[in-house]
Structure 1
């Protein structure tokens, strides 16, 4: 259990690009990064409007001379300071992630980037190579992966409690965009604009979340080929989809299904992960994140509760408040930011860490999956070899 003890010697001097006024995700980034004193927010370029960004930064008690009009100016000016930033989080629209991440790595900074990392696998692999060359960490904010139940699920699979995995059933299907809400909501408007969002909407925006969770839980399974069908039920969103179904075949003979949607009327979030083996199944639902269902064929269903002593030690290591008390998204993100910080410090020392976290390779694979899904869907929902 974590009681607030120090995990790194000194806080990492940290900045944000984007995430300003009106950005829900920006607030989550700050709350998670600052919670354990692993990061210290010292600079920012929070808004495409410089004055609005500066005013917001003042609200965060950041020195006025470290509030910048854009990320290029911030990287250049901070590099001149003895106490300049060491890491940056990118909370901007998708279409800017590649250029800002590349600039940050070239400036010698560690990066935490919103997903998707970029639009193409080629760009993603370029960033991965640059990160390796610079010996810098790039973390991707698959925030749900920080829940304790995900680590417990990983351990159950690793211990063979499910037997050989047969079926991976994934979905992230909410209903909040069942009509053209983007007409009046700026945060949705750019998500359905191919120039800003890239080649997909819900595949990249929600589908990659449960996909990454499945990769954490079943790290040895690799996709061999897939088939995807996608629709634009709100016609003005075409060519970007607001609903998609993907079928995947894995190299071990397992089959996978991913339902990605924002038009599932009545659904609050609808993110569920179910892993089915030859002996048992596990299921996690992000609206009830403190419980993991463990179902052994022929036995009563077991509900594994977060924070309880029967969980794996690696799952309990992320416990912040003990069993019975509900934890949620802010705790999950805090767990990931703690891992990001430890990985950054280790990289600066020329060391590696012995725990998983959503790193740049996870970002590359998310982009690769979306690219393959789009390729399949745009060729008439045909099977494509995964590449």
Structure 2
């Protein structure tokens, strides 16, 4: 394994998971910030490489974890495909559908395994919601709402920025703000549960003059089924719980802070019934490793990767044009 950049705040999390997996061994670190990269390599007890091409040419490196700035994803992932390295990357895959499709084409041509980290597709709230949808327990679903927010941009005690690094507000590097980063999770969850989107209307808000990207966002999505999706995210919400809600003609599904419950008109007392996760699903990284070793098929798919970019690109266009954007 080679770790490519400590730019993203989840870089340490992925390194930790890799070190805990006996099938993986971290051998090298590369970073476009030499100082940052050398420090990380020293902490991990591995070598640092300044030249990314040397990492790719190294026959001892089988796979890479990409936690660079978002704008570097297409270049680095295509290069990895060229040298037939398996790829695990932080979301999003790319900022445009065209770039994402080019990456997927390169992945197929090089016959490598590619995984984008979409972890909430493996967690209890989604698994219960998916089971409820597949069984038709809510009747015809008319609306879905999903919210994920934190206080990463909230300043305290005279600090200039919150706990989220200032590089996350650099539009050129990050490609966007709260919606591209944190809003990715509600986007891919609603996409998977509701199917193909047909239109998007978005408002991306920046409450601070110091940011060139959004720190809060609301996106409404219409799906082929006629259901409406409401996606919410923010870097300015202290204590905001993760929420996933499904509303249908025969019932309601609510998930918040690990608790999942359903109410159906078929229930005698019309009360709430708590649900347990219907199955266990391996983490995105474990699924990726299994696919490399056994050619197994991950539960997280190309459609999840590409549709995430579709909504992000449509939302950015909708906000810019201040109108509803149709997806064809």
Could you state the TM-score of these two structures normalised by the residue count of structure 1? 0.76
Check if 1:367 corresponds to 2:293: no
The one of 140, 159, 165 equivalent to 1:188 is: 165
Larger deviation: 181-190 or 34-43?
A: 181-190
Q: CA deviation at 1:379?
A: 0.9
* Residues 38, 338 of structure 1: 8 Å contact kept: no
What SS does the aligned partner of 2:236 have? coil
In structure 1, the partner of 2:263 is 295
SS class of match (2:151):
coil
Deviations 1:12-68 (A, max 9, x none): xx2210138xx64122102223334232222222x3343553453243233x4xx31
* 1:345 aligned residue: 293
Shift of 1:185: 6.3
- Structure 1 residues 175 and 58, CA, compared in 2 at 3 Å: closer, same or farther? closer
Structure 1 partner of 2:111 = 135
- 1:218-297 paired onto structure 2 within 5 Å: 218=194, 221-238=195-212, 240-264=213-237, 267-285=238-256, 288-289=257-258, 291-297=259-265
Matched, 1:32 2:32: no
Report the Cα offset of residue 186 of structure 1. Answer: 8.9
Q: Is the 8 A contact 1:204 1:366 kept in 2?
A: no
Q: Are the aligned partners of 1:140 and 1:360 in contact in 2 as well (CA < 8 Å)?
A: no
Does residue 87 (structure 1) correspond to residue 63 (structure 2)? The answer is yes
| Cα contact 2:116–2:284 (8 A) shared by 1 | no
Runs of 5+ in structure 2 lacking a partner? none
CA spacing shift, 1:227–1:184, aligned 2, 3 Å: closer
2:37 corresponds to: 53
Q: TM-score by structure 2 length?
A: 0.89
Contact 1:128 1:361 in 2 (8 A): no
Q: Which of the pair has the greater relative contact order for Cα pairs under 8 Å at 6+ separation?
A: 1
* Matched position secondary structure for 2:201: strand
Residues 205-253 of structure 1, C-alpha deviations (whole Å, 9 max, x = no match): 11111121223344xx211111112221112223x22222211111011
Maintained 8 Å contact 2:264/2:270: yes
Aligned 1:103-114 pairs, distance under 5 A? 103-114=79-90
**How many pairs were matched up?**
324
Offset of 1:282 from its aligned partner?
A: 1.9
